[in-house]
A and B are shown apart, each in its own frame.
Chain A
Amino acid sequence: AQSVTQLDSQVPVFEEAPVELRCNYSSSVSVYLFWYVQYPNQGLQLLLKYLSGSTLVKGINGFEAEFNKSQTSFHLRKPSVHISDTAEYFCAVSLRQAGTALIFGKGTTLSVSS
């Protein structure tokens, strides 16, 4: 079975500081990797995804993530955060086959203050 672990449930940072949200996954088969963001009272929006190729993936809003196969990690980073980045961030995996859905981590709440 597959599982996703987000190592930090809450990450408080100051505006313009760098941030890293950590994600580890467990799977016996190859997976695709995703990061989604959920703003208050809204649905989920895709930030970025890793399907294949370069292990460094760039997404929207200045976020990037690096796939590390040996450490089974897919950590999300941003060099300088804004107040507007305050939201819940979810790491997810899906199997490399048809008929599969997303398996989500528990989420990390990023709180950016001035």
Chain B
Amino acid sequence: DSGVTQTPKHLITATGQRVTLRCSPRSGDLSVYWYQQSLDQGLQFLIQYYNGEERAKGNILERFSAQQFPDLHSELNLSSLELGDSALYFCASSEGPGGSYEQYFGPGTRLTVT
């Protein structure tokens, strides 16, 4: 158990809909990352927050957005969903914002868009 929790574990929704994925980082970790894992794209970095502020952006679509709240939990919002958005979405947390800090991964949320 990494200490990172993600809800829900599974999500099935229809095209055009909007969903919210939630992540609670390990106690004491200030940095939260979101990654998308799909068969064709592999593991791709979406976005990073550190202590409530956006720190880095990766291959995140404009239809997707995220935020980190004062209690440090984070939410990833996916809107106007398409079939290609079906993937496993991981949240990871680390103590600091830099690349040397170990990232601890949650179990993921499997999103299926039908």
List residues 63-114 of chain A with CB under 8 A from any CB of chain B. 90, 94-107
Q: What separation, in Å, do the CA atoms of A36 and B4 have in the docked complex?
A: 16
Give the shortest distance, in Å, between B3 (CB) and chain A (any CB): 11
Given contacts A94-B99, A99-B50, A101-B99, 11 further A-B contacts (CB under 8 A): A43-B107, A44-B90, A44-B92, A45-B105, A95-B99, A96-B100, A97-B98, A98-B96, A98-B99, A102-B35, A104-B42
Q: How many residues of A contact B (CB 8 A)?
A: 25
Q: How many A-B residue pairs have CB under 8 A?
A: 66
Dominant secondary structure at the B interface: strand
Contact of A100 among B4, B44, B99, B105 (CB under 8 A): B99
Q: What separation, in Å, do the CA atoms of A97 and B45 have in the docked complex?
A: 16
Q: What separation, in Å, do the CA atoms of A105 and B106 have in the docked complex?
A: 19
Q: Does B58 have its Cβ within 8 Å of any Cβ on chain A?
A: yes
Q: B100 touching A32 by the CB < 8 A rule?
A: yes
List residues 52-105 of chain B with CB under 8 A from any CB of chain A. 55-56, 58, 90, 92, 96-100, 102-105
